[in-house]
Structure 1
Amino acid sequence: MKTGITTHVLDVTLGKPGAEIKVELWKITDTTRTFIANGITNDDGRIDTVLLEKVEDGEFELVFFVKEYFQRVEVENNFLTTIPIRFNTDKAQSHYHIPLLLSGWGYQTYRGS
């Protein structure tokens, strides 16, 4: 059984995983952001390590740094540079998977499995 907080990126414009994208995980408390972990997506669009080993109650933010990715894959006319996704967690849930579906003009996310 998977545990912790994980993510992956799919590029729907190119129809393939989003590789070599830097991702950071932050804990949000009132007006304070505390850095937890970071990683780079692999060729499958996934970060090889779990960003947070044990889920705790609270609000978190994943930040996807997509500007360099778009430049590397030569997507024209993109306007996204970073994508922050804030979400709440409940320690009663052992795993949160937050995928990012990405294009040059927009994105979508959901709670995965």
Structure 2
Amino acid sequence: MSLFRLQKLNGHILSENKITTMSGSSSPLTTHVLNTAMGVPGSNVSLKLYRQDLASSVWDLITTGTTNDDGRCPGLITSQLFTSGVYKMHFETAQYWASMGETSFYPYVEIVFTINDPAQKYHIPLLLSRFSYSTYRGS
């Protein structure tokens, strides 16, 4: 039993002023963090998803989450909220490496991408080591 009071809010769980998506919900946008240095999923990586306001160029926070044991963060955004625009995923990589007693050259990784057709599915993998990272549009 959790010591925190959880409130269900439009398919999300609100806890300690932090919105994280419920793992059962589907999302048109997915991510998968892989620790390529150790050959394991990047579990327990904190991340934030933003959408850029085109009028002001300000980044609006959409949701926060943490990768699961498989390095995935299901339910990032609902189909209703997923619109055309410029998005950014911010991964807390220094925190991830520090949790394993390691240091990292990159304190965080930000992946910025454009969504032109929100009816499609988009997958943004992050391949991670302490001194490098790469990404691509997956399927």
Output the TM-score relative to the length of structure 1.
Answer: 0.89
1:20-35 matches, cutoff 5 A: 20-30=44-54, 31-35=57-61
Return 5+ residue gaps in structure 2 as ranges.
1-25
Mapped partners of 2:107, 2:102: distance in 1: 12
Return 5+ residue gaps in structure 1 as ranges.
none
For the 8 Å contact 1:3–1:94, the answer to whether it is kept is no
Q: Which one has more relative contact order, counting CA pairs under 8 Å at least 6 apart?
A: 1
Quote the residue 1:41 is aligned against: 67
The two structures, once aligned, show a CA RMSD in angstroms of 1.5
Of 68, 84, 101, the match for 1:57: 84
For the 8 Å contact 1:57–1:91, the answer to whether it is kept is yes
Quote the residue 1:100 is aligned against: 126
2:131 partner amino acid: W
Greater C-alpha radius of gyration: 2
SS at match of 2:99: helix
Number of matched pairs: 110
Q: What fraction of aligned residue pairs are identical, expressed as a percent?
A: 35
Output the TM-score relative to the length of structure 2.
Answer: 0.73
Mapped partners of 1:98, 1:81: distance in 2: 19
Quote the residue 1:91 is aligned against: 117
Quote the residue 1:5 is aligned against: 29
Quote the residue 2:41 is aligned against: 17
SS at match of 1:23: strand
Mapped partners of 1:75, 1:25: distance in 2: 25
Give runs of ≥4 in structure 1 deviating > 3 Å.
none
| Greater per-residue strand proportion | 1
How far is the alpha carbon of 1:52 from its aligned partner?
1.4
